[in-house]
Amino acid sequence: MSLPIPSLPLQSLPTLFGSLSLSQLRASAGPDGASAGVSLASIEVSEAAADPGTGTGTGAAAPRSAGPVLRAAQVGIEARTQAEEGSTDHSLAGARERGLQRIRARMQHMAKALERLQSGVAIRSGASAGAYAQDDAQVTFASYGGNLALSASAGTLSNVATGTGHDALALSAERVEGVYTDVDPQRSAQGGNDAVAIRATEVSRVYTGAGNDAVAIAARTVTGVNTGAGSDAVAILADRVSGIYTDRNPVGRGRAVNGTGNDTGNDTVTLQARQVQSVYTGGGADAVTIAAQSVESIYTGEGDDAVTISAAVVGGIYTGAGRDAVSIEAGAGRSRLSAGPWSTGSPVESRMLAALGNVADIDTGAGDDAITLSVAGAISLEAGQGDDSITLGGGTVALRYAAGDGNDSVSLAPGTEVVVQLGEDIADWSVTQEGDSLLLRIGEGSIRFDGVAASAAIGLVRWGDPQVEILHAQLPLDAVA
């Protein structure tokens, strides 16, 4: 049984969401997958905008300021995922298409649980239903066979707990802390397909347990969302987001993630915020889309993942083993901010040295990955083992390469600088150039660069050697004349 939060008509929203003009805040969960979405229209909330005297007559409390992150117009984010039904398409194109479909898809299933609650009708004959209201809070609920539909609005909602059925929750408050949708004292149930929609200023500790769960949140700060096992969908619009876990067994950073999580669900996470930190999706073919100023510590684990990130600063991006499709637009890598100075007016060797580091800002792990990276400043990339296809657009990129990393191809946009940072296990290399291509042979592997003529420079740094060897560089205009 699926109990999603329905897409409500705009005129009914003040009852549920106070003075915030939310056109859509939705979450849908079922046996075939989960969907979550947040869409804001004509938001004009400011620090002085909330007026306690603008109640709707329903007993709902008018929310206070939602913070500057909600001062936007026509901003939408959506996430959707489906339970995999024996898919055999393991191609890179298939991984990319599955990820993009989950990211862009619109919610298809419109259950009637809360619509019936609003009209005072129980979900089924024989179900229980009730309502409670006072000046600063209202609660409406209906249950049948262990499945619960709940709508609640208050100043603070704390420790909201439901059982292991298929639950649908719509919560509105200044602060929401502690939502648990799979409470099972006996620890014997599998967990239901839960749908949770939350509008608040602060949200913390949301746990939906096993099942195909959907979580949609609009808030200022969101901390600690754990959707457990299953194919889950999470959509969040906030100022600060941290601690998002869609794997029931999140583990440490980097390669420790690869294959160690025991959740292989295909999860979708869509985040729009100023700051995003610590997102763990575990195993499975996951889709992650993030737009933020700062993005740090994203772990998608083993599987054919689709990752799209747009941010001023990025760091700690690990997509694990699998044939991943990664697209990143960034101003600079986080680890490069503490390195040497990077400036367009500096010598090319200095810019390349500033891009180097002991840890890559982006690590796509083993597998034949497709990577598109555009950067304004300096950043470090490690594509790992496998025959990777890399497109670089602008900036200075340190490309880390170790023995056994395969035969990679790199397409260079005009003006791009790239420096190959060899691992300590590499002693010999050779280079040949033919036309617009440069082939760098490294042991049994290689890197083929295309678009060399219009690129700014290609360099190489040996392990433990601070000197940059220039393999190709654009001639100054006065030298050409």
pLDDT of 335 reads 82
For the chain, give the number of residues: 481
Using pLDDT thresholds of 50, 70 and 90, give the confidence band for residue 455.
very high
- Are 39 and 77 contacting, i.e. CB atoms less than 8 angstroms apart? yes
| 240 pLDDT higher than 90 | yes
pLDDT of residue 321: 96
pTM for the full predicted model: 0.77
Comparing 34 with 331, the larger pLDDT belongs to: 331
Q: What is the arithmetic mean of pLDDT over 424-452?
A: 95
Residue 74's pLDDT is 32
**The predicted structure's pLDDT at residue 419:** 97
pLDDT digit string, tens, across residues 371-425 = 999 999 999 999 999 999 999 999 999 999 999 999 999 999 999 999 999 998 8
Q: Which residue has the higher pLDDT, 337 or 40?
A: 337
- Of 246-250, 310-314, 329-333, minimum mean pLDDT range: 246-250
Q: What's the average model confidence in pLDDT over 251-258?
A: 39
Average pLDDT score over the chain:
76
pLDDT in tens, 165-223: 888 899 999 999 999 998 765 555 567 888 999 999 999 999 998 889 999 999 999 99
Taking the C-alpha atoms of residue 395 and residue 305, their distance in angstroms, rounded to an integer, is: 25
Q: Is it the case that residue 18 has pLDDT exceeding 50?
A: no
Per domain, the residue ranges of the chain are: 1-276, 324-481
**pLDDT on residue 82:** 53
pLDDT of residue 434: 94
- Highest-pLDDT range among 116-120, 169-173, 260-264, 452-456: 452-456
| Residues 356-360, mean pLDDT to the nearest whole number | 89
For residue 164, the model assigns a pLDDT of 82
Answer whether residue 27 shows pLDDT above 90. Answer: no
The pLDDT value recorded for residue 221 is 98
Whether the predicted pLDDT of 77 surpasses 60: no
Q: Is residue 252 scored above 80 in pLDDT?
A: no
pLDDT, one tens digit per residue, over 312-331 is: 999 999 999 999 999 999 99
Mean local confidence (pLDDT), 36-49 = 42
**In the chain, what percentage of residues exceed pLDDT 70?**
65
